[in-house]
Amino acid sequence: MSQGKSALLVMGCPEVPVQISMVIYLAHKLKKAGWDVTVAGTNAPVKLLKVADPESYYVQKMADLDQTIADIVEKKYDYDICFAFMHSDAGMTYGATFSAISGARLFAVVFGKNAEALGESIDYPAEKIVAVATHNPAPLKNKIDKVAL
């Protein structure tokens, strides 16, 4: 049962194309399964998402990444599950931060050219979803579809 449960999708830098596609896909999939979904990111990925989904059909709640971290640290809010998208060292660092500050079940969604090496270097508590995917979202989508929630 996921009714009433909350999910956070954390977007990293949007320079790898599959991220926005997978965030929209996963947000929609979780919403249909009854999850209350929030997507957090910095200005760049949030703008991309708003343009792609102008009437908020797929993503209803968006949040600023820094404010989301502040709210979790100050215990104003937390989530039941969190998918942190990452393809770079900075993305990994954000993933480690969410692992440390949040009580959510954390999924590290690792993609891009160096996904395998990045995935292996994750040593904080997280369930890893790793796929070498940059332009073609299918490898990442297939792995996300296998996640049991």
Partner 1 sequence: MSCIEQLKYRLYLERTSFKEAREYIEKNSEEVYYVDPGYRIFKDYYIIGIPPVAMGVRGKELLFTYVKPCHGTFVMGIDSEEEIARLRENEARKVKGSLKKADKAKAEPNSAPASFADIYRK
Please tell me whether residue 12 binds partner 1 under the rule CB under 8 A.
Answer: yes
Please tell me whether residue 89 binds partner 1 under the rule CB under 8 A.
Answer: yes
DSSP code at position 4: T
Smaller CB distance to partner 1: residue 35 or 98?
98
Smallest distance, partner 1 to C-beta of residue 114, A: 12
CB-based contact 79:8 (threshold 8 Å): yes
The sheet with strand 81-86 has its strands ordered as: 61-64, 36-41, 6-10, 81-86, 105-110, 127-130
H or E element, residue 145: helix 138-145
Smallest distance, partner 1 to C-beta of residue 148, A: 27
Residues in contact with partner 1 by CB under 8 A are 12-15, 41-42, 44, 65-66, 69-70, 72-73, 88-94, 96-97, 100-101, 124
